[in-house]
């Protein structure tokens, strides 16, 4: 399964990159590209161009070969379908506005929840501090201390620390069972083996997101300027850049363009949810409840992670079988792990009586260890259950006696004695058959768990179905589509947060413009201000690999006219542009007087409100990130 998790997504990611490269070399050239490429940027003759920052922390690979693809797709559709697409994307505007509100509320709720978890972690750390020195009153203090160090070990400095078996309960509960929004960070909140699958799911979702922006722009006759693949401080990202003509769109079109990317992510999540709800995936699974329970997932921080793997069949716990002939019958897995009974007390293991009585007496821990640490041999107390030696306890190594199947007591020969682990010890025998027939035929493997049963229940997820055919591929597909669904919904809400460089900020700005422009008539602006003459020039690159095309505008094409970028990143939002727009509005209105001042005031408070919302959102997300950083530090200690 580990090889499948690593190799299969890596292979598919390479195939996706090869497909994009093939399309870039065979994509149809548009007329605009044919005219402009030889004039201002000879590098456009290459399908892909590379750029980087001075520190090489931000790497960019961009191409203009995909510019004509959205228009080509729409040209293959008739006019009616194109109009219906515009209506379809208008629905996305409403869902985008709703998602913006929900994302803001969710960000505040998640931040409050994270800091509640921080407080809970601080309380846990405070409870683990050593008690103050002092005499015990009625033995209560000494008893509490003995309970705390029951499973502690002493290091060279004399400090106590929890063993892995004792600490796994807190690990699996605190690292993987948070009720709040949890970041996906390899090595912290997810295993490293899932990293290739996560990257593949992220790239596909980002590609779907940017396709939404490109198609929505094509509905308004806006063609992308270039397609960017970036690596920002190790994080992959994609971006579609549009020409400056996108600023001339009406607010409705701008909102449609801003919401189209998140809308595509929401549709992706919805389609996957419908497929899962329809039960279509059941064709890849078969019912194995009559044999036992199938391991679905093991928490990657649990000690069981290296011993149990997805697809393994669990057949028994101690002497309790996990098979169910009727699905509606009580779940033996849940029932046994949440109970206090010790398997079938009428079963045990037969061994020579004299050999058993010759073993060391209990207690089995190291006599020089005041904390009750087990001896180096890991011996456990075993008790005789039948005969004249009934009740005798001796220290015995659990291997290999507990690795074999138990038998019904008493033993058939009086020279043998039936023994089993003492009921005082929390030792759990987990019988399993390896996935793919790795176990020997007719022989089950046994894993011994020393700890609380609830920890196993928290760390291991089980199911009744086993994968058909190529089990590793089927289980990887389940993990992959799970990441696709999670990331799609996350990108929908995150991109709608009114943060700088996000679609939510653009949506909020376009919404403010929509309010102010619906009441204004086109005649309020002059039909012509001054003639524009476009001159293509090369600007000095800011860093190697970057080239910016400029259009110099002015009366007669003079050098004094302002320079305007031929294209700009759609996600970027400038407050200076808003100020220029307000000044322009004042100039166009001429002697409108009080009406102009009112519109200027309206634009001013809207801009300030938008900036305030952005800053508040940034503060909330910063608190959320700081809270998770504190949780990671506290839990790692």
Q: Which pLDDT band holds residue 374 (cuts at 50, 70, 90)?
A: low
Per-residue pLDDT band at 270 (split at 50, 70, 90): very high
Contact (Cβ atoms closer than 8 angstroms) between residue 162 and residue 303: no
Q: Report the range out of 342-356, 364-378, 521-535, 578-592 with the highest average pLDDT.
A: 342-356
Supply the DSSP symbol for 248. G
Confidence tier at 114 by pLDDT (50, 70, 90): very high
In this prediction, residues 363-374 reach a mean pLDDT of 56
Token pair for 114: 């994270």
In this prediction, residues 146-170 reach a mean pLDDT of 33
CB 30 within 8 A of CB 71: yes
Cα 197 to Cα 211: distance, rounded to the nearest angstrom = 21
What digits encode the pLDDT tens for the residues 401-448?
888 888 888 888 888 889 888 877 778 889 899 886 655 555 688 888
The residue that leads in pLDDT, 604 or 45, is 604
Residues of the chain with pLDDT > 90, as a percent, come to 24
Predicted confidence at residue 562, as pLDDT, reads: 39
Gap between the Cα atoms of 314 and 297, Å rounded = 13
Q: How confident is the model at residue 476 (pLDDT cuts 50, 70, 90)?
A: very high
> Would you tell me the crossing angle of helices 503-517 and 251-278 to the nearest 10 degrees?
130
In tens, the pLDDT along 86-109 reads 889 999 999 999 999 999 999 999
Asked whether residue 587 carries a pLDDT value surpassing 70, the answer given is no
Average pLDDT over residues 530-545: 38
**How far is Cα 91 from Cα 98, in angstroms, rounded to an integer?**
11
Task: List, in order of start, the domains of the chain with CATH numbers.
Answer: 4-27+46-126+180-281+488-514+620-636 (no CATH), 289-342+426-463 (2.30.42), 346-367+374-422 (no CATH)
- What distance in Å separates the CA atoms of residue 133 and residue 141, rounded to the nearest whole number? 10
The dihedral sign for the CA sequence 305, 310, 311, 316:
positive
| Cβ(309)–Cβ(295) below 8 Å | yes
**pLDDT digits over 305-341, tens only?**
989 999 999 998 988 888 876 655 678 898 889 888 7
Q: Which two tokens stand for residue 300?
A: 């990657």
Distance CA 314, CA 428 (A): 13
Q: How far is CA 142 from CA 145, 147, 154, 357, 363, in A?
A: 5, 9, 18, 34, 20
Find all residues with CB under 8 Å of 118, minimum gap 6, and list them: 627, 630, 631, 634
Q: Are 257 and 217 in contact (CB under 8 A)?
A: yes
Helix, coil or strand: residue 521: coil
Under the banding of pLDDT at 50, 70 and 90, the label for residue 274 is very high
Q: How far is CA 280 from CA 268, 276, 283, in A?
A: 17, 7, 6
Q: 140 versus 596: which is more confidently predicted?
A: 596
**Token pair for residue 482?**
């799970």
Q: Predicted confidence band at 461 (pLDDT cuts at 50, 70, 90)?
A: very high
pLDDT, averaged across the chain = 75
Taking the CB of residue 73, how many other CB atoms lie within 10 A of it?
14
Max mean pLDDT range (258-267, 430-439, 549-558):
258-267
């Amino acid at each position: 399964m580990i090889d499948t998790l690593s190799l299969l997504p890596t292979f598919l990611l390479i195939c996706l990159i090869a497909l994009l490269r093939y399309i870039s070399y065979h994509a149809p050239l548009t007329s605009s590209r044919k005219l402009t490429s030889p004039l201002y940027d000879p590098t456009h003759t290459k399908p892909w161009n590379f750029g980087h920052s001075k520190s090489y922390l931000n790497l960019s690979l961009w191409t203009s070969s995909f510019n004509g693809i959205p228009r080509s797709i729409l040209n293959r559709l008739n006019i009616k379908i194109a109009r219906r697409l515009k209506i379809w994307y208008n629905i996305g505007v409403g869902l985008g506005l709703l998602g913006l509100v929900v994302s803001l509320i969710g960000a505040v709720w998640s931040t409050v929840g994270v800091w509640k978890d921080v407080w809970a972690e601080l309380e846990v750390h405070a409870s683990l501090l050593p008690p103050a020195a002092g005499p015990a009153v009625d033995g209560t203090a000494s008893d509490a201390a003995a309970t705390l160090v029951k499973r502690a070990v002493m290091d060279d400095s004399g400090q106590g620390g929890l063993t892995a078996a004792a600490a796994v309960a807190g690990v699996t509960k605190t690292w993987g069972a948070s009720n709040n929004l949890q970041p996906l960070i390899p090595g912290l909140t997810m295993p490293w083996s899932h990293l290739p699958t996560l990257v593949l799911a992220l790239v596909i979702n980002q590609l779907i997101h940017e396709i939404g922006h490109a198609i929505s722009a094509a509905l308004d006759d806006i063609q992308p300027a270039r397609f960017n693949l970036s690596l920002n401080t190790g994080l992959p990202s994609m971006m579609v850049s549009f020409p400056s003509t996108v600023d001339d769109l009406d607010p409705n079109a701008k909102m449609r363009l801003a919401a189209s990317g998140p809308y595509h992510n929401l549709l992706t999540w919805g389609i996957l949810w419908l497929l899962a709800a329809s039960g279509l995936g059941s064709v890849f699974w078969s019912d194995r409840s009559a044999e036992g329970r199938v391991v679905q997932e093991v928490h990657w921080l649990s000690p069981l992670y290296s011993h149990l793997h997805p697809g393994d069949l669990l057949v028994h716990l101690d002497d309790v079988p996990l098979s169910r002939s009727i699905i509606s019958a009580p779940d033996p897995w849940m029932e046994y792990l949440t109970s206090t009974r010790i398997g079938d007390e009428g079963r045990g293991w037969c061994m020579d009586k004299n050999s058993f009585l010759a073993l060391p007496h209990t207690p089995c821990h190291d006599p020089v260890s005041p904390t009750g640490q087990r001896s180096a041999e890991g011996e456990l107390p075993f008790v005789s259950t039948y005969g004249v030696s009934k009740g005798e306890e001796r220290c015995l190594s659990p291997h290999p006696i507990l690795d074999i199947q138990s038998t019904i007591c008493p033993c058939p020969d009086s020279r043998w004695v039936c023994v089993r682990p003492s009921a005082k010890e929390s030792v759990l025998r987990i019988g399993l058959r390896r996935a793919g027939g790795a176990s020997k035929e007719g022989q089950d493997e046994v894993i011994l768990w020393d700890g609380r049963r609830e920890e196993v229940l928290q760390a291991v997820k089980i199911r009744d179905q086993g994968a058909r055919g190529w089990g590793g591929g089927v289980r990887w597909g389940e993990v992959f589509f799970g990441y696709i669904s999670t990331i799609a919904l996350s990108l929908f809400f995150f991109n709608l947060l009114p943060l700088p460089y996000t679609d939510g900020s653009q949506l909020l700005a376009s919404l403010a413009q929509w309010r102010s422009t619906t009441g204004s008539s086109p005649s309020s602006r002059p039909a012509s201000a001054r003639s524009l003459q476009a001159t293509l020039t090369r600007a000095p690159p800011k860093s190697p690999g970057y080239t910016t095309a400029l259009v110099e505008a002015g009366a007669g094409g003079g050098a004094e006219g302002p320079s305007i970028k031929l294209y700009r990143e759609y996600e970027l939002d400038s407050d200076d542009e808003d100020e220029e727009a307000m000044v322009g509005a004042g100039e166009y209105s001429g002697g409108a007087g009080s009406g102009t001042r009112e519109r200027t005031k309206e634009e001013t408070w809207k801009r300030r409100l938008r900036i305030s919302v952005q800053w508040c959102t940034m503060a909330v997300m910063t608190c959320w990130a700081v809270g998770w950083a504190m949780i990671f530090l506290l839990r790692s200690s």
